[in-house]
Amino acid sequence: MAEGVLLITGASRGIGAATAILAGRAGYHVVVNYVGNQAAAETVAGTIASAGGRASVVQGDVGSEADILRMFAHADAQGRLAGLVNNAGVVDLSARVDEMSLERLERMMRINIIGSIVCAREAVKRLSTMHGGEGGGIVNLSSAAAKLGAPANYVDYASAKGAIDTFTVGLAKEVAAEGIRVNAIRPGIIATDIHASGGQPDRVAEMEASLPMKRAGTAEECAKAILWLLSDEASYTTGAILDVSGARAILP
Ligand code: NAP
């Protein structure tokens, strides 16, 4: 059984919620972060508790350092941190680069890149044997978009996820001798609310026929990969970026 506290950002819906439910089953005390949807976060925590697991809920915007510090203080109050899943992420409406406002770009980078790096910073302070910690795991959420570039859709988002790939490799090397493994998954088209939030509610249905497996992936399929990367089964896997894309984007 897994032990300790696992903080999952953006765990009220989608991939984060599926990861939280599996993590609860695996034995972690799951900290379910959300930004606006408290009811959904409470439902995830309730699902974990009714299966005999432990979970708590914390509001916080990963675009805010103050909120991140508060989220980690909440996690500390639950017990020893064992890991972090940097899952919270956003897309914006389809646009060309020559249509993107500075405000949009700053939001995209603040939530998708800086938020993940600041969360990882706080996790390393707690997990690193150099700081008296017992080690642990960090899993970042990249995207197949990092390889595909997402032209005329959201090159800004794709670029942010490219940064997550580089961050994963760099941090993995930086803390490899300190008991921390840092990995990422690169989901392809996964059936969650994110497509509707980018103004494309029918994206999954429209794309399925063109996908190599003729279907989108599920949040649970991503969650299983994340839980494996966190587990001792992956004890020599660090700095890895695992494609969970049904072969959508497997070329470098
Ligand atoms: P989703 O269904 O849209 O859910 C997003 C989650 O993130 C929600 O729990 C939301 O909380 C939370 N969130 C949004 N902004 C936040 C913020 N500023 N601070 C804290 N939490 C925030 O997303 P998803 O599809 O599961 O995506 C999860 C991750 O996978 C993202 O990093 C995404 O880029 C990546 N990904 C997804 C796909 C895909 O096809 N779905 C493909 C590749 C990569 P509320 O419920 O409170 O709003």
For the CA of 216, the closest atom of ligand 1 is: 40
Is 249 inside any structural domain?
Answer: no
Q: Which tokens in the block code for residue 64? A: 């805010």
For the four alpha carbons of 136, 72, 11 and 240, in that order, the dihedral sign comes to negative
Q: 219-251 burial by CB neighbour count: b if 16+ within 10 A, else e?
A: bebbbbbbbebbeeebeeebebbbbbbbebbee
Is 143 inside any structural domain?
Answer: yes
Is 173 inside any structural domain?
Answer: yes
Find the CATH number of the domain harbouring 218: 3.40.50.720
If DSSP states are collapsed to H, E and C, what string results for 64-100?
A: CHHHHHHHHHHHHHHCCEEEEEECCCCCCCCCCHHHC
Q: 4-21 burial by CB neighbour count: b if 16+ within 10 A, else e?
A: bbbbbbbbbbbbbbbbbb
Structural domain of 50:
5-244
- Contact (CB, 8 A) for 146 and 164: yes
Cα 65 from Cα 119, distance rounded (Å): 9
- What per-residue confidence (pLDDT) applies to 252? 54
Cα 95 from Cα 139, distance rounded (Å): 29
Is 76 inside any structural domain?
Answer: yes
For the CA of 61, the closest atom of ligand 1 is: 19
Is 250 inside any structural domain?
Answer: no
Full-model pTM: 0.98
Is 224 inside any structural domain?
Answer: yes
- What per-residue confidence (pLDDT) applies to 3? 93
DSSP secondary-structure letter at 144? T
Cα 156 from Cα 90, distance rounded (Å): 11
Q: 90-118 burial by CB neighbour count: b if 16+ within 10 A, else e?
A: bbbeebeeeebeeeeeeebbbbbbbbbeb
- What per-residue confidence (pLDDT) applies to 132? 97
- What per-residue confidence (pLDDT) applies to 249? 78
- What per-residue confidence (pLDDT) applies to 193? 95
Q: Look at the chain and report how many structural domains it folds into.
A: 1
Is 121 inside any structural domain?
Answer: yes
Q: Which residues of the chain have pLDDT under 50?
A: none
Is 251 inside any structural domain?
Answer: no
For the CA of 35, the closest atom of ligand 1 is: 47
- What per-residue confidence (pLDDT) applies to 212? 96
Mutate to test the pocket of ligand 1, among 7, 8, 13 (most ligand atoms within 8 A of CB): 13
In the reported structure, the alpha carbon of residue 202 is separated from the centroid of ligand 1 by a whole-number distance in angstroms of 17
Mutate to test the pocket of ligand 1, among 34, 113, 243 (most ligand atoms within 8 A of CB): 34
Mean residue pLDDT of the chain comes to 97
Cα 62 from Cα 134, distance rounded (Å): 25
- What per-residue confidence (pLDDT) applies to 23? 98
How many angstroms separate the most distant Cα atoms in the chain? 51
In the reported structure, the alpha carbon of residue 160 is separated from the centroid of ligand 1 by a whole-number distance in angstroms of 14
| 157 labelled catalytic | yes
| Tens digit of each residue's pLDDT (9 = 90 or more) over 154-203 | 999 999 999 999 999 999 999 999 999 999 999 999 999 999 999 999 99
